[in-house]
């Protein structure tokens, strides 16, 4: 009857990603102005001034296709990370690289492993491929790497880990990670998604880059969307063995990273001061939020990232009530029936969230 009848069931079953509500939309719907978006883990300080300058400088070149190889960004980043340039693969956000990894290494019916209560993009990419997905629950809001290792079968082709995890902000530490890696064979792609790498400062946080080896199929993913403040431009990168990168490049769309993203990311890499400021503002914001939440008797999950999972109870209503007050947070779905996720904002935004939450809880007549 129609081409859509030919779409396989595994595609029909996909529930599309629901992004954080855009500021514009909230302000239109609620007739308010000046709302605070604490919903998508964006950098509250904005982009690096150096990135903005680079964009202005190159605008006249926008009629040209981007460099499909990301030459300048590749070499700048390779030098920064101290890895060979051929170990880097770039994406339209690291989200595209999640998709690219799945399209490159999995076929319909292939087995993949992930955790419930982790980043939803993994499940979406796997669902679109028709992969057979096994999921393991979180334990105390963090990855249960022991159970994940046990859940692996000889058919498992790929495992998705996020460190820090989104939406919980938790990390797994060196001993569990090393033990896990020892139990994974080279025919399983381990994706270590480190979108919040720059914020993690626990002494036992394992930088997955240090664990790349010839006989390991490890893909580290990072992004310019979070600490680097360039979410709107869409640029992320993967680090892996050159053979892994080479096959991903065979599947990759040739101009997947736009020119503006390449100019801005290359310049942002050079702005250590902005990055440091961003990390510092986040550290202070997290401390402030957690102290104030505790003082109000509200529970939260210790975070190593730029957001925090807060146990407000009744997240659908709290979300809605916060929206009315111009504060946009993120409900995080059925895995977390009592929590909302709140991005750490500027000091003013954090205060605004706390004030609005107090107001809502006072309205409940509860003690908080």
Among 35, 223, 256, 303, binds ligand PLP (CB under 6 A): 223
Contact call for residue 119 and ligand PLP (CB under 6 A): yes
Q: How far is the CB of 39 from ligand PLP (least distance, A)?
A: 12
Contact call for residue 94 and ligand PLP (CB under 6 A): yes
Residue with tokens 């009857």: 1
Q: Which is closer to ligand PLP, CB of 223 or CB of 256?
A: 223
User: Which SS3 state, helix, strand or coil, does residue 8 take?
Assistant: coil
Q: Which is closer to ligand PLP, CB of 19 or CB of 363?
A: 19
Contact present, 331 and 316 (Cβ < 8 Å): yes
Q: Contact region for ligand PLP (CB under 6 A) — 61-69, 88-96, 138-146, 349-357?
A: 88-96
Burial 248-274 (b: 16+ CB within 10 A, else e): bbeebeeebbbbbbbbbbbbbbebeeb
Q: How far is the CB of 122 from ligand PLP (least distance, A)?
A: 9
Give every CB contact of residue 266 below 8 A, 6+ residues apart in sequence.
54, 72, 73, 76
Contact call for residue 93 and ligand PLP (CB under 6 A): yes
Contact present, 238 and 94 (Cβ < 8 Å): yes
Q: How far is CA 74 from CA 91, 100, 197, 232, 264, in A?
A: 12, 18, 19, 20, 13
Residue facing ligand PLP at closest CB distance: 93
Contact call for residue 282 and ligand PLP (CB under 6 A): no
Q: How far is the CB of 126 from ligand PLP (least distance, A)?
A: 14
Handedness of CA 31, 340, 292, 273 (dihedral sign): negative
Q: How far is CA 195 from CA 134, 162, 200, in A?
A: 23, 8, 10
Contact call for residue 170 and ligand PLP (CB under 6 A): no
Contact present, 97 and 221 (Cβ < 8 Å): yes
User: Which SS3 state, helix, strand or coil, does residue 353 take?
Assistant: helix
Contact call for residue 195 and ligand PLP (CB under 6 A): yes
- Pairwise CA distance, residues 201 & 206, whole Å: 10
Q: How far is the CB of 344 from ligand PLP (least distance, A)?
A: 14
Contact call for residue 225 and ligand PLP (CB under 6 A): yes
Contact call for residue 123 and ligand PLP (CB under 6 A): no
Contact call for residue 193 and ligand PLP (CB under 6 A): yes
Beta strand pairing status for 236-239 and 218-223?
Answer: antiparallel
- Kindly state the number of chain residues that form the binding site for ligand PLP, as judged by CB under 6 A: 14
The reply to whether omega before 139 is within 30° of 0 (cis) is no
Q: How far is the CB of 225 from ligand PLP (least distance, A)?
A: 3
Q: Which is closer to ligand PLP, CB of 236 or CB of 326?
A: 236
**Residues within window 25-84 making contact with ligand PLP, judged by CB under 6 A:** 41
Contact call for residue 95 and ligand PLP (CB under 6 A): yes
Binding site for ligand PLP (CB under 6 A): 41, 93-95, 119, 162, 166, 193, 195, 223, 225-226, 231, 236
């Amino acid at each position: 009857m129609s081409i859509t009848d030919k779409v396989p069931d595994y595609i029909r079953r996909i529930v599309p990603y629901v992004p954080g509500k855009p500021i514009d939309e909230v302000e239109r719907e609620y007739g308010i102005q000046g709302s605070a978006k604490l919903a998508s883990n964006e950098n509250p300080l904005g982009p690096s001034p150096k990135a903005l300058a680079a964009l202005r400088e190159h605008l006249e070149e926008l009629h040209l296709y981007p460099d499909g190889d990301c030459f300048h960004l590749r070499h700048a980043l390779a030098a920064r990370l101290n890895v060979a340039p051929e170990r880097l693969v770039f994406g339209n956000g690291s989200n595209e690289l999640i998709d690219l990894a799945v399209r490159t290494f999995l076929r319909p019916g292939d087995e993949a492993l992930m955790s419930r209560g982790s980043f939803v993009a993994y499940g979406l990419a796997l669902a679109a491929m028709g992969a057979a997905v096994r999921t393991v629950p979180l334990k105390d809001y963090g990855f249960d790497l022991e159970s994940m290792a046990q859940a692996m079968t000889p058919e498992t082709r790929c495992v998705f880990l996020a460190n820090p995890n989104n939406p919980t902000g938790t990390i797994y530490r060196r001993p569990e990670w090393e033990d896990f890696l020892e139990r994974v064979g080279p025919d399983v792609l381990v994706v270590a998604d480190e979108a919040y790498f720059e914020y993690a400062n626990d002494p036992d946080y394992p930088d997955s880059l240090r664990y790349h080896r010839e006989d390991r199929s490890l893909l580290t993913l990072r992004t310019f969307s979070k600490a680097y403040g360039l979410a709107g431009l869409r640029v992320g990168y993967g680090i892996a063995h050159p053979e892994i990168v080479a096959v991903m490049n065979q599947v990759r769309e040739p101009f997947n990273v736009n020119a503006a993203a390449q100019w801005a990311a290359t310049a942002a890499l050079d702005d250590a001061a902005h990055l440091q400021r961003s990390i510092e503002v986040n550290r202070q914001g997290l401390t402030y939020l957690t102290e104030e939440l505790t003082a109000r008797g509200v529970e939260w999950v210790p975070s190593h990232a730029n957001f925090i999972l807060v146990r407000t109870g009744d997240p659908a209503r709290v979300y809605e009530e916060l929206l009315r007050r111009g504060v946009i947070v993120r409900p995080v779905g059925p895995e977390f029936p009592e929590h909302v996720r709140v991005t750490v904002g500027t000091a003013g935004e954090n205060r605004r969230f706390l004030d609005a939450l107090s107001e809502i809880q006072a309205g409940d007549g509860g003690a908080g």
